[in-house]
Amino acid sequence: MKITAVVLSVFFCASAFGQLTPQQVLAKAAAYHDPNNEWPTLKATFHFTETRPEGEASRSTMELNNELTYMKVDRGGKESYEITADSAKVLSGDKDPARGLRLRNYFLYLWGLPMKLYDEGTPFDSKVTTAEVDGITCDVIRVVYEKDTWYFSIDQKTGRMVQYKFYQDEATGKGEVITLEDEITVRGITIPQKRNWYTLPEMKYLGTDILSRVE
């Protein structure tokens, strides 16, 4: 069932009567990125490259079956894992299964945003703020995890995810910011194609993740 019209109606009504909630902003982002709620059952293979200012690019594949909580990830033949639920098996490389679980969580979270914010127990701050990101007025959702705090900037007009950042320690401003460029659409899901990473507060460039295709 398409949710876009219903979500936008709720969103603009909420805007007219006062402060938006994080859940309302997230619903608008989901209406843009996954209007038919395909992510929970997505079966697809992601091909992406992680580039860094110094060093060789890392090419990876990530085979997903979200309905079966299954992932097979191969990082250019250097290490590969097969993960089902919370059980991981090392297919190649000299790492341990815990490494496979960490990679699963990392890749699922970043490539699955903003849908992953629907995970049970996501610790939202109740207040939505606004910010200008590259000339775009955004609603900003704050999520306070145990070890870091994340900010997600969502275009007020379209619901497109524009940027996110996280702090290990907000008091010192230490963290990273990720800007998003271009998009790939698969099974009706619109996924940011390029993630550019910078340190905070220095804004030192760390690298770019590029999604070449999804099958």
The domain total for the chain is 1
How far apart (Å, rounded) are the C-alpha atoms in residues 137 and 131? 6
Q: Is the pLDDT of residue 11 over 90?
A: no
Q: What is the pTM assigned to this prediction?
A: 0.85
pLDDT tens-digit map of 166-199: 998 888 899 999 999 999 999 999 999 999 999 9
CB neighbour list of residue 12: distance below 8 Å, 6 or more residues apart = none
In a domain, 68, yes or no: no
In a domain, 85, yes or no: no
pLDDT tens-digit map of 14-60: 444 468 899 999 999 999 999 999 999 999 999 999 988 887 788 99
In a domain, 63, yes or no: no
How far apart (Å, rounded) are the C-alpha atoms in residues 141 and 139? 7
In a domain, 108, yes or no: no
Domain that holds residue 200: 4-39+113-214
- 39 near 115, Cβ under 8 Å? yes
The residue type found at 19 is Q
In a domain, 83, yes or no: no
In a domain, 132, yes or no: yes
Which pLDDT value is given to residue 4?
Answer: 45
